[in-house]
Chains A and B, each alone.
Chain A
Amino acid sequence: MAPVSSARLRILFALFAVLTIVLSARVAYWQTVARPTLLEQANGQILSDQVLHARRGTIYDRNGAILAASVDLRSLYAIPARIADKATVANDLGILLGRASGPILERLTSGADWVFIQRRLPEATANAIADLHVDGLGFVEEPKRLYPNGDLASHLLGFVNDAGVGQEGVEERYDRVLRGTDGKLVAERDPADREIALGLRESVPPRNGADVTLTVDLSIQTSAERELRTAVEREHAASGSIVVLDPRNGAILASASYPTFDPSAVIAADPAALPDRVIDWAYEPGSVMKAITMAAALQDGLITPNTTYVDTGYADIGGRRLYNALGEVWGPSTMTQVLEHSANAGAVFVAKKLGEQRLYDALRSFGIGTATGVDLAGEAPGILRPLAQWYPVDLGTAAFGQGLTATPLQLASVYAAIANGGTLYRPYVVASWRGADGEHRTAPAAIRRVVSERTAATLRDMLVATVDKGIAHAAHLADYSVAGKTGTAQIASPDGHYLDGQYISTFAGFVPSHDPYMVVVVALEKPRSELYGTVSAMAVFRGVAEDTLRYALVQPDR
């Protein structure tokens, strides 16, 4: 064997030395300077940072029926690179999803690494797709708000957007209570994406949203919506609304607007159907306001039910002549008959006795021009101009409900005060909610006394006569005494004039009159029968009252 020259040995040694130094430097670099990057990459591969979604609270009716609940539904995604026959898969998915296969194929061939095909699938559809066992298709669960009663009480409930934020109604007003707080889980996972039992695990548990119980009764709500829908469709009305209150505490038993929408598919809804007309539709209510005029005058002792005036068919005030509806002339009439006939001239007669200040105070006291404070999002306060802005004629028009606006809920509050003996309550819709810290109950809130019990009782009798013998006879029930008043208001155009032949028909009433169980206000916008639209409004009242009184086992008082 030939001896290796020492020069070659030296070169070899130098080569190894340089390599060692280079490798050592490289190792030192990765261990020091680039350490955070490596750690981040490593953690990214083995640590999963997962959001633990808080469950949005369930909404129940007063009897525990579910009105809204959140469940996790499966969303279908695809990893296109793993799908061999994209056209066939797109075709199969199109059939199962009830969609054209073209857009699905476009997604599969878009070049994206990962795409959603359809989110939040119905269970049956998701199961059918899972049974295809297609490599490259998968599911991820996402929360979805579902409303098992469809469009029932949709305006009252509101809806939840894609980001999980409540919009409108109870969902918006109680979003903070319902939503809860998301949690977080950081855990080490193996290559099969399974959590490693002995690995790192840091968890902040989610705090679920509170379950909310409403004052609404699903049976009464169903009846109210059915009757309202029937009336609106029969009258070809532009819209309608109904609210049912418990006059003893202001609890909302039912509330509905029509047209309506499905809160679980808001994107497909007509925008005109979204507003809750019960709380954000302020309109000139018309003669239902005569009850306030009478209440104020009775309270001040300026009139009694038997006070008489001679009705000439009109009244002059502020340089204007205000007529009765349809030009009716009633001759000598009592105050009870003013309500029975809904005589505008009679209301002006009473208003003149009251004067501007007293009438204005009475209207304010009954809550006109002020939001009721109901626990729903988007309430309109209505308009009651300051007294300083009143024209002389406003004393007369305000007496029968023109020149001011109110929402159906405000009218219901007014009639609830008359029904319960003179106390104005704040309407409310959430009876209680149960969170991690226990149960919170809503206490009925009496705002103020607006008239004495005696005045309220006198006015109740006058309103019963209005139903028994007067203009509101269509609201009459066989076994129960009904108190109520109709209202027909013209609709103001943007240029300040009233539109010809277009009215808003309202009926406000309560039953049984001397121990009321319910107050109902019905409003129909632009009914086909114009001035006689109140007949349809009263039919709605009667239908709801008959159903509810029977359902609630209220003892007949006649």
Chain B
Amino acid sequence: MTVLALTARRRSVRVRRARRAQPPRSRSLPRHARAVTRAAAWETRSFIAASAAIAVAFVLALIYLAGSTGIASVGYQAQRLRAQRDELGRQNALLELELSRLDSPARIEAEAKRLGLVRVPYIPVVTADPVAVQR
């Protein structure tokens, strides 16, 4: 055998080895191997879907909680405002009563007396008719 022939044989052996080391082509994979591959893909997809569902549910729950909290907060605020309105109404009623008390003729009369004012003993009234006749 010549050196050239020996070299060519060695090259051929390396090529075969290299081909063996390469991954097999799909069409050339066995059935069970393909099934394993598909299962792995489904798991990935279902994991993503479940994660997405959980995330959506979480977001929805957050939205619901935010809404509930917001409504509760507004409810408390409305309650505070109602209480404030009622208190202002009550204060207003008290002020109206105080105004009535201060406006009372009896109080004004007593106050006038205290200030030294006196009643006019006589108020002359000129009737219109005689004046009109004279003119």
Contacts and interface: CB of A to CB of B under 8 A. Distances in A.
Contacts of B71: 197-198
Given A555-B127, A556-B127, A195 B79 contact: yes
B94 A478 contact: no
Interface string B19-54: 000000000000000000000000000000000000
B100 A148 contact: yes
Contacts of A197: 71-72, 74-76, 78-79
Contact of A479 (B79, B90, B100, B125): B125
A550 B119 CA distance: 12
A69 B97 contact: yes
A114 to B, nearest CB: 22
Given A219-B105, A226-B106, A226-B109, A66 B96 contact: yes
Interface string B95-120: 01110110111100100000000000
Contacts of B72: 196-198
Interface residues on A, range: 20 to 34
A149 B100 contact: yes
A65 B100 contact: yes
Nearest to B123: A550
Contacts, number: 66
A194 interface: yes
B98 A148 contact: yes
B68 interface: yes
Contacts of B96: 66, 69
A416 interface: no
A141 B93 CA distance: 14
A71 B91 CA distance: 9
A549 B97 CA distance: 28
B97 A148 contact: yes
B101 A72 contact: no
Contacts of A479: 125
A362 interface: no
Interface of A: 65-66, 69, 71-72, 123, 141, 146, 148-150, 152, 194-198, 218-219, 222-223, 225-226, 478-479, 550, 555-556
Interface of B: 68, 71-72, 74-76, 78-79, 90, 93-94, 96-98, 100-101, 103-106, 109, 122-123, 125, 127
Given A71-B94, A197-B74, A223-B105, 5 more contacts: A65-B100, A69-B96, A198-B71, A555-B127, A556-B127
16 contacts: A65-B100, A123-B94, A146-B97, A148-B101, A149-B100, A149-B104, A152-B104, A196-B72, A197-B71, A197-B72, A198-B68, A198-B72, A218-B104, A226-B106, A478-B122, A550-B123
